[in-house]
Amino acid sequence: MWSYVWLPLVALSLFKDSIIMAKAATILLPSQTGFDISRSPVCSAPDPNLNYRPVIGILSHPGDGASGRLSNATDASSIAASYVKLAESGGARVIPLIFNEPEEILFQKLELVNGVILTGGWAKEGLYFEIVKKIFNKVLERNDAGEHFPIYAICLGFELLTMIISQNRDIFEKMDARNSASSLQFVENVNIQGTIFQRFPPELLKKLGTDCLVMQNHRFGISPQSFEGNIALSNFFKIVTTCVDDNGKVYVSTVQSTKYPVTGFQWHPEKNAFEWGSSKIPHSEDAIQVTQHAANHLVSEARKSLNRPESKKVLSNLIYNYKPTYCGYAGIGYDEVYIFTQQRSLL
């Protein structure tokens, strides 16, 4: 008797709940909400404190990006197209900063941009190291002078800034985090306001700590203890996230300057949406959101730069003046690269 009465009641309750949930999930068009669609749209006035045409400078790296398979020119340098697409997907254009072109030209180009990406790679000494150091110092000078000018330092870029700030080229230790996906572990009680993560939806932030949503591809890292133990580093950056390598070693994976719009990544925010050469790169919808939010944050910071150079100079130096080369047939490395030689440098 009891089961005869109880089951219909449960079924009725579940039916009512499903109706309520269906109503809550219904997406209504403006015409279905009583909104007067005949009204003229409101076109808000541009914020005079923002630059709606930001340009990002990306520093080229020695070589063709394909171990000489595409170009064996001794003066060749390259930028993986994924870094260009990262900036473009956030709403910016790109000017390549060719590391081995005459410094006068390179730093004239730096005056045309509103932010910089320092890419991954292998070069840690010689001319490349010195150019990164000079660009970094110029960027700090511009921020100190009142211009908001961001840097994204990714993998090698982060390692170089760490060496420059700490004044110790041997501060990194060997790690085994090559060609692998991982989660990100947020430092306890860290304040993510002002960091890349500030606009991430709560659910995505939670998944970052449990799911493999970011790509790692490096042989070196720095432990939180070594990082915090260096006064110059701990004064300049706060640690936001850490990761664990394949041998259980903990290393610093995301940092944010406490004074400047400078973000350092040991992981690769550009790969999820734009690189396909490795089966280890995450391509889930959540992983793509990570890339998109990283792009949005960079460009939102660049919009705060009020540097408005002459339009003609910008157009003459945009990445559109170059053609990318497809190099994904081998199934490793980058899918597309822009290759530069000194003879092709623009101004």
Spell out a b/e string for 128-142, using b for 16 or more CB atoms within 10 Å of the CB, else e: beebbeebbeebbeb
Per the residue annotation, which of 155, 212, 243, 327 is the catalytic one? 155
Interatomic CA distance for residues 11 and 26, integer angstroms: 23
Nearest Cα residue to 73 out of 307, 341, 343, 347:
341
User: Helix, strand or coil for residue 94?
Assistant: strand
Nearest Cα residue to 212 out of 147, 279, 258:
279
Active site annotation includes 43: no
Spell out a b/e string for 239-278, using b for 16 or more CB atoms within 10 Å of the CB, else e: bbbbbebeeeeebbbbbbbeebbbbbbbbbbbbbbbbebe
Active site annotation includes 268: yes
Neighbouring residues of 188: CB distance < 8 A, sequence distance ≥ 6:
none
Per the residue annotation, which of 61, 148, 218, 268 is the catalytic one? 268
Distances (CA, A) of 79 to 55, 84, 195, 218: 16, 8, 25, 18
Active site residues: 155, 268
